[in-house]
Amino acid sequence: MIEGILQGLEVALSLSGFLSLVCGVVVGIIVGVLPGLGPVLGMALLLPFTYDLGAANAVIMLLSVYVGAEYGGAITSILLAVPGNAAAAATVLDGNPLAKQGRAGFALEVSLVASCIGGLFSGFVALLFLDSLKEIVLTFGPPTIFALALLALTSIGSLGGGSPVKGLFAALLGLAIATVGADKISGMPRFTFGISELYEGFELVPVVIGLFAIAEILEMLHPGQAARAPTQSMFARMSWADWKLLSPAMLRGSVVGTIAGILPGMGANIGAWLAYDLEKRVSKTPERFGKGAPEGVAAPEAANNSAVGGALVPLLALGLPSTGTTAILIGALIMHGVQPGPRMVLERPEVAYGLLATVIISIVVMYILGRGLIPLWVRIAMVPASTMAAIVLVLCVLGAYSTRNLMFDVWVALAFGALGYLMRLYKIPVPPLILGLVLYSIVESNFRRSLLMSNGNLSIFSESVVTVIVLAATALVIVIPIVRRFWPGRSTVSKEI
Amino acid sequence: MHRFENATVGAAGVLIGALVIYLASALPPSRTADVGPGALPLIIGIGLVAISIVLMLQKQVTSRAEPDGETIGDQTKRALAALATVAVYCVAVEFVGFFVPTLLFAAAIIVWMDGRVALPRAIVTSLVLCGSTYLLFKVLLDLPLP
């Protein structure tokens, strides 16, 4: 293994490898910053340029795009409340309030450091424990993933913003919206009303752009009363106290993100939300969340970048793509004559370990580039509110359009903007809706696959110890708050049920 | 108006939930061990109706502090006007193309919010916005614009 790691480092640090890596990180940050253009599109754009590169350099470049884009998405989330990609949506909740308080530089620094720590963590975990993690991946069948998705759904209670009823209402609304589109098992169109653009369901990026950014602008647009942009502090470095406060959040986010990256179908989007939820749950002052808590930036940012290293585990160990980004990487490998799978580590160690070394080195490059650009990003936050509104609205339209190059997605963003505005007006929390939207297909497809595997027998959910433990944990998460509510002298429940 | 916030949201939820139940019931059941495409949507619809009824029955504990003494009706009217403006821009983009509507829209938003004093800034901003968008999307990334 040591020999393989050294070979990987040699490839990633060679002149051509390093140039591919830097180019990939730069493109990644650009596509990450631009709303609607996530890592999948960035990698797809660069794919034709990798034809003439060797297999190792090609995958180094593409993987660096992935790393850069996961960080870049946070920049517009913090500055403009427009998530650069779906995985950066959770960062809006506390990142944008920090920018509004004049602490955009600090929020950007936290997101950069957290992204680096998350990426390094998952890179080292994948590098050192690839063989052991392979066994874990194999134990996660549809019943276990269904159980994990159910556990993730219990986050709704914490994301509900003080009113569990409204949180549950929003989550059910999100789940109902997610039912639109062709059924994943039978292929039958469901609630599409003959609209072909709805066959794949609602794309997440236009929905998130609408719910967060357009809703914010609708509230902000006020003739003759443009709010002044907050004065931003250019000081961005994290103090010792910040490190002390945020290190556990970054570590927890890294662990959650790595696991989410490893599990099929989960990935950075869900990892970021779960990390945010976990951070809010363990915090002694959860009421600060949503109002500019730095942990609310650190945890999801560490998680979405740590999902990169996690996603490489099923790719390298089993040749399976767990996300769209790893599917493109597999495509690039096959294009260059490398067969992904368990034998890749033995037959092409320079490519396999080169990928893992790339995660680690591209993080260092990303930190240097990202650190240098923070003062520039902070200046954007000082733009007058009216100019900001105009720029954000145009970016929203472009971001929604770029998802599939369809004006339909722009109208979807606008409709969800109106919904997001109404939800703000009636104090219905938005995060549970997004969580419902993201988790529905995982819950449904894995539940139904499990039943198909067992010929309709529900006992399949008790066959694996891991599944039973996860289901028991889910039950505990639901039951404990109810017991506490009726436990004399220990009620901490809000007045609104 | 505040007293009816939960009732309004709950009523909307009941309607949406009922629609989901109706549409899910119309989906054909599966002939295999699979529960079929309508099973989970049906459960979600029932859950939505139930939670909406709980919301409607819930007491409105808090009242909303409106900025500038605005009522929900005033705020909604203002947001609808803003939404209509954005919708007009989207229609223009769909039929005229990206650049001309964007130039006019970006400048109009700035002048609308800041007054005519901001006209020079509005013109510069809209030109820079269109130029940088073209450079990034068309030249650098070779992506189509609406």
B42 touches chain A (CB under 8 A): no
Judged by average pLDDT, the poorest of A189-203, A218-232, A306-320, A432-446 is A218-232
Chain Cα centroid distance, residue A413: 19
Categorize the per-residue pLDDT at A441 as very low, low, confident or very high, splitting at 50, 70 and 90.
confident
How is residue A94 written in tokens?
């506390």
- Average pLDDT of span A252-263: 90
Residue A220 confidence (pLDDT) above 70:
yes
Tell me if A41 sits within 8 A of A31, measured CB to CB: yes
A385 touches chain B (CB under 8 A): yes
Nearest by CB to A173, from B27, B48, B86: name it: B48
- Average pLDDT of span A480-493: 61
Q: According to the model, what pLDDT value does residue A488 have?
A: 56
Instruction: Tokens 């700035």: give the residue.
Output: B110
Nearest Cα of chain B lies from the Cα of A246 at a distance, in angstroms, of 33
Categorize the per-residue pLDDT at A495 as very low, low, confident or very high, splitting at 50, 70 and 90.
very low
Categorize the per-residue pLDDT at A230 as very low, low, confident or very high, splitting at 50, 70 and 90.
low
- Taking residue B87's Cβ as centre, other Cβ atoms within 10 Å add up to 15
Q: In chain B, what are the helix, strand and coil shares in percent, each to the nearest 5?
A: 75, 0, 25
Q: According to the model, what pLDDT value does residue A409 have?
A: 93
What ipTM does this complex have?
Answer: 0.89
Tell me if A398 sits within 8 A of A35, measured CB to CB: yes
Nearest Cα of chain A lies from the Cα of B69 at a distance, in angstroms, of 14
Query: pLDDT by residue (tens digit) across A360-412?
Result: 899 999 999 988 888 888 887 778 888 888 888 888 898 889 888 899 999 99
Nearest CA in chain B to A45: B141
Judged by average pLDDT, the poorest of A268-282, A408-422, A480-494 is A480-494
- Answer yes or no: do B5 and A427 touch at CB < 8 A: yes
Q: According to the model, what pLDDT value does residue A332 have?
A: 84
Q: According to the model, what pLDDT value does residue A492 have?
A: 46
Q: What is the mean pLDDT of chain B?
A: 84
- Average pLDDT of span A102-115: 91
Nearest CA in chain B to A497: B58
Q: According to the model, what pLDDT value does residue B72 have?
A: 64
- Answer yes or no: do A169 and B13 touch at CB < 8 A: yes
- Rounded to whole angstroms, the Cα distance separating A97 from A217 reads 14
- Answer yes or no: do B143 and A421 touch at CB < 8 A: no
Q: According to the model, what pLDDT value does residue A234 have?
A: 60
B54 touches chain A (CB under 8 A): yes
A374 touches chain B (CB under 8 A): no
Residue A177 confidence (pLDDT) above 80:
yes
Q: What angle do CA A41, A42, A47 make, to 5 degrees?
A: 95
Categorize the per-residue pLDDT at A232 as very low, low, confident or very high, splitting at 50, 70 and 90.
low
B128 touches chain A (CB under 8 A): no
Q: According to the model, what pLDDT value does residue A410 have?
A: 94
More confident residue, A107 or A327: A107
Percentage of chain B beyond pLDDT 70 is 87
Highest-pLDDT range among A298-312, A378-392, A480-494: A298-312
Residue B30 confidence (pLDDT) above 90:
no
A37 touches chain B (CB under 8 A): yes
Measured over all CA atoms, what is the biggest interatomic distance in chain A, rounded to whole angstroms?
70
Nearest Cα of chain B lies from the Cα of A221 at a distance, in angstroms, of 7
Nearest by CB to A405, from B23, B35, B144: name it: B144
> A interface mutation test: which of B42, B83, B132, B133 has the most A CBs within 10 A?
B83
Residue B144 confidence (pLDDT) above 60:
yes
- Average pLDDT of span A109-135: 86
Nearest by CB to B51, from A37, A165, A224: name it: A165
Q: What is the mean pLDDT of chain A?
A: 84
Q: According to the model, what pLDDT value does residue B67 have?
A: 52
Q: Which residues of B touch A401 (CB under 8 A)?
A: 145-146
More confident residue, A491 or B115: B115
Residue B14 confidence (pLDDT) above 80:
yes
- Answer yes or no: do A37 and B115 touch at CB < 8 A: no
- Answer yes or no: do A444 and B121 touch at CB < 8 A: no
Please write down the HEC assignment for all residues of chain A. CHHHHHHHHHHHHCHHHHHHHHHHHHHHHHHHHCCCCCHHHHHHHHHHHHCCCCHHHHHHHHHHHHHHHHHHHHHHHHHHCCCCCHHHHHHHHHHHHHHHCCCHHHHHHHHHHHHHHHHHHHHHHHHHHHHHHHHHHHHCCHHHHHHHHHHHHCCHHHHCCCCHHHHHHHHHHHHHHHCCCCCCCCCCCCCCCCCHHHCCCCCHHHHHHHHHHHHHHHHHCCCCCCCCCCCCCCCCCCCHHHHHHHHHHHHHHHHHHHHHHHCCCCHHHHHHHHHHHHHHHHCCCHHHCCCCCCHHHHHHHHHHHHHHHHHHHHHHHHCCCCCHHHHHHHHHHHHCCCCCCCCHHHHCHHHHHHHHHHHHHHHHHHHHHHHHHHHHHHHHHCCCHHHHHHHHHHHHHHHHHHHHCCHHHHHHHHHHHHHHHHHHHCCCCCHHHHHHHHHHHHHHHHHHHHHHHCCCCHHHHHCCHHHHHHHHHHHHHHHHHHHHHHCCCCCCCCCCC
- Rounded to whole angstroms, the Cα distance separating A219 from A209 reads 15
Nearest Cα of chain B lies from the Cα of A208 at a distance, in angstroms, of 17
Highest-pLDDT range among A148-162, A194-208, A239-253, A268-282: A239-253
Judged by average pLDDT, the poorest of A58-62, A223-227, A460-464 is A223-227
Phi-psi region of A38 (alpha: psi -120 to 50; beta: other; left: phi over 0): beta
Q: According to the model, what pLDDT value does residue A491 have?
A: 46
Nearest Cα of chain A lies from the Cα of B110 at a distance, in angstroms, of 5
A179 touches chain B (CB under 8 A): yes
Residue A446 neighbours by CB under 8 Å, 6+ apart? A142, A143, A145, A146, A149, A265
